[in-house]
Structure 1
Amino acid sequence: MPFLFRLFSALPLWLLHAVGAALGWLVLALSPTYRRRFVANAAVAGYGFAQVRGAVGHAGRMVAELPRLWMGAPMPCAIVGAEVVEQAWERGRGIVFLTPHLGCFEMSAQAVAQRWGRQRGPITVLYRPARQPWLAKVMETARTRPGMDSVPTTLSGVRQMIKALRRGESVGLLPDQVPPEGLGLWSPVFGRPAYTMTLAARLAQQTGATVLLVRCERLPRGAGYTLFVEALPEPLSASLDEAVAQINRAMEHLIRQSPQQYLWGYARYKQPRADTPAGKGAAPGAEGVA
């Protein structure tokens, strides 16, 4: 597998995306469970399958592009809304970048690191180590790049994120990842209750950091990516429940801007799993982030 990862990391992005698109449709055809969840999740948001069928191919592209993103040369990524980030930096309180499982969320952190890492300090992201030793090593190496630090989903990792924000740096999270039982709360997503991490809201509330919303869209024919940045529509509430609900609404807003690139097959509405010994000591909401 490490050899295949290195091999795929050298392939052009257009070819990886072509292979990935075929893979996405193959998985949909072979997995009735995935197919039902894809259709059901889209329906909850008000979309029929025909309206979001492009997301099938994008799910496969997400998998196929990982070797290139993790081990290959930096990829081109234009940024729309860079002025919003600059304004947030001027406040001097750090930035919490939030993105759902939409488009190339792996590229989101890399784009921020490439653009602002040298001047403003690294972006810190949490990751859950893979169970396979070879993949865990690849992930550790891939997610620690110039301008980007990765920390594990433990209390120590969360503390490093808080320290980064208090230094005026940035952190990145996927707040629509389902955390283990006891590390989140139930909050509506497209009108249906979904168990939601509290970490994103807690980080902003405890440090006063600015919350920014990002989505990184894939361009056609492997031409690269575009990162879109916007501010949270309203100040984050001091109430944890309301702050989590605000973030969920913000994720809905981002998804509706690019429903063709959202992972509709992700089990967003699943029951949270019980915490494991490896997860003990994690801060509330600390699991399930980028």
Structure 2
Amino acid sequence: MCPGMPFPFPLLVFAPPQMLLVLYRLLAWLPLSWLQWIGRRVGGMVYRLSPAYAARLRENAARAGYPGDAFARRAAAEAGASALEVPCVWFRAERALARCHTDDWGVVEAAVAEGKGVLFLTPHLGCFEVTARYLARRNGAITVLYRPPRKAWLARLVETARAAPGLATAPANLNGVRQLVRALRKGESIGILPDQVPGNGEGVWAPFFGRDAFTIVLPGRLVAQTGAPVVLTAGERLPHGRGWRIHYLRMPGALPDTPQGQAAWINAGMEAMIRRCPEQYLWGYNRYKAPPGTVRDATAPESP
């Protein structure tokens, strides 16, 4: 489910998890083009019916250089497509993976050849559910940091659906971090969503599209501890249900020394990846919120 986008079918939250599983499995049998078409209509409906969501989407997109209602409506439509294509990825993975391709696989091969494992960072861009499965298929096991949804009904659905060969999950706690470190030291790959707002004590303020955002520090700590290369990845949605183009972008330069520098480094990499297909980023997510107990550093001026 897309973070930051109001759930389009509120009555379903009262349905038993098994009923939701049946619904998602049935949806998975629809053609991908139909699912994405329906999703775009749902995304447009949510944009019209939720003024708060629409306003936040427009504000975040305009800050990044994409102003105007026309862009915002297209971005809302793509957010809906992102939500409705999930059943295909979860429950008909073979069909979904057959529609993935990349021109950047050499980036992955070069990073793997270093023998230190690879840290893949996946922003909420395009189909972020398909990227880990594609890596597991082509590159072997990958362990993904997993924070269960807050709603119990959705957590049960996601935990069941995300099980896939070669794809392991690590809980977002100390044990999960140790699991990630072990995987890297074995030369395996791990994955993290770097643009979710972390909890207090788990992040620092760093610029993201011209404004400071509270940004996770775990990727920098993992790289400092293991020397693993960092690769950004995203699944760009192709038109007419043709599938996804998987992008890979190696983070340039050396890891900065400070947590603030590391967070800014990662945010700059995400900006570069997002600009490849900006309409498919989840601009409606409240990326700039301050977690409870977090205070912005008064000595650090707001980014211009």
In structure 1, stretches of 5+ residues that fail to align are: 276-290
Q: Any idea what SS the aligned residue of 1:14 has?
A: helix
Distance (Å, rounded) in 2 between the aligned partners of 1:158 and 1:129: 15
Q: Which residue of 1 aligns with 2:126?
A: 103
- Percentage of identical aligned residues: 48
Distance (Å, rounded) in 1 between the aligned partners of 2:25 and 2:153: 12
In structure 2, stretches of 5+ residues that fail to align are: 1-19, 295-304
Could you tell me how far 1:136 is from its partner in structure 2? Answer: 2.5
Q: Which residue of 2 aligns with 1:286?
A: none
**What does the per-residue CA deviation read over 1:175-233, in whole Å, with 9 as the maximum and x for residues that have no partner?**
11101122111111112111111111111111110001112101111111110112112
Q: Which amino acid aligns with 2:179?
A: Q
Could you tell me how far 1:134 is from its partner in structure 2? Answer: 4.7
Moved more, 66-75 or 78-87: 66-75
Is the 8 Å Cα contact of residues 2 and 134 (structure 1) preserved in structure 2? no
Distance (Å, rounded) in 2 between the aligned partners of 1:87 and 1:52: 37
Change (3 A) 1:157 1:6: same
Could you tell me how far 1:144 is from its partner in structure 2? Answer: 2.7
Question: 45, 51, 67: which is aligned to 1:26?
Answer: 45
Q: Which residue of 2 aligns with 1:256?
A: 275
**What does the per-residue CA deviation read over 1:61-87, in whole Å, with 9 as the maximum and x for residues that have no partner?**
111111221122321210221111111
Question: 32, 54, 70: which is aligned to 2:90?
Answer: 70
TM-score by length of 2: 0.85
Q: Which amino acid aligns with 1:69?
A: V
Q: Any idea what SS the aligned residue of 1:196 has?
A: strand
Distance (Å, rounded) in 2 between the aligned partners of 1:124 and 1:87: 19
Could you tell me how far 1:135 is from its partner in structure 2? Answer: 3.3
Q: Any idea what SS the aligned residue of 1:93 has?
A: coil
Change (3 A) 1:273 1:106: farther
Could you tell me how far 1:5 is from its partner in structure 2? Answer: 1.4
Q: Which amino acid aligns with 2:203?
A: G
Distance (Å, rounded) in 2 between the aligned partners of 1:134 and 1:30: 24
Is the counterpart of residue 185 in structure 1 residue 204 in structure 2?
yes
